Each structure stands twice: as structure tokens, then as C-alpha cells.
Amino acid sequence: MRVLLVYPIFPSTFWSYEKILALVDRKVLLPPLGLVTVAAILPQEWQFKLVDRNIRAATEEEWAWADMVIFSAMIVQKQDLLAQIREAKKRGKLVALGGPYP
């Protein structure tokens, strides 16, 4: 099983920490540890790729590569999460959700 782990975009809110990130010259505060933990408990013969959409979008090659897409999100990420779920389903991918929002 080839799994694409996707962390949705944070909109410009308190939770995006935009001003602090600019001060320290970073794009994100922390890696999406929930998705990394999920990958650690799934069968290790599976293959994983991680995409944090706050850094970059998934490529066409990554979408084509994946059998399944797993998302983790908070409610502030709802808009991008739903858009990415629609994209995954349009491409015929299995979808799993987790995190504080879903």
C-alpha cells in the first residue's frame, strides 16, 4: 500500500502564527506529528510520503503514486481539508481522516 499523508493549509488566523514564523524565517512551526505517528503504527511494508500543504502542494506524481490518502486536520483547516478530500475522491483514492477536527 502506498500512502500519501497530507496536512492541510492553515488559513491566515491566530493558529497560523504567520508573524512569528516570519520573524524566525520558517514556513511552519512544527511538523505534522500526528501523521508521522500514524505512519509509524501502520504496517512497515507500506510506503509513505508526507506533504505539508503549508510548505508545498502534492505533485501530480505523488497523487498518481498513492493508493490511499490520509489526512489530519483541525477545524481551522476545514476549507482546505474538504477541498483535498474532494480531490482524492475524484482521483479514486481511498481516504482516511483523523485529528482534532474530523
- The predicted-structure confidence for 41-55, as pLDDT tens digits, reads as follows 999 999 999 999 999
Domains in the chain, number: 1
The CA–CA distances, whole Å, from 90 to 5, 28, 80, 94, 95 equal 17, 28, 15, 10, 11
What single-letter DSSP state applies at residue 14?
Answer: G
Q: Which domain holds residue 7?
A: 2-98
Write out pLDDT tens, residues 50-102.
999 999 999 999 999 999 999 999 998 999 999 999 999 999 999 999 998 76
Give me the helices (H) in the chain, please: 18-23, 33-41, 60-65, 78-90
- pLDDT at residue 89 in the model: 99
- pLDDT at residue 30 in the model: 78
| Cα distance between residue 59 and residue 72, in whole Å | 19
Give me the CATH number covering residue 8.
3.40.50
Of residues 88 and 17, more confidence is placed in 88
- pLDDT at residue 23 in the model: 80
Beta bridge partners of 73: none
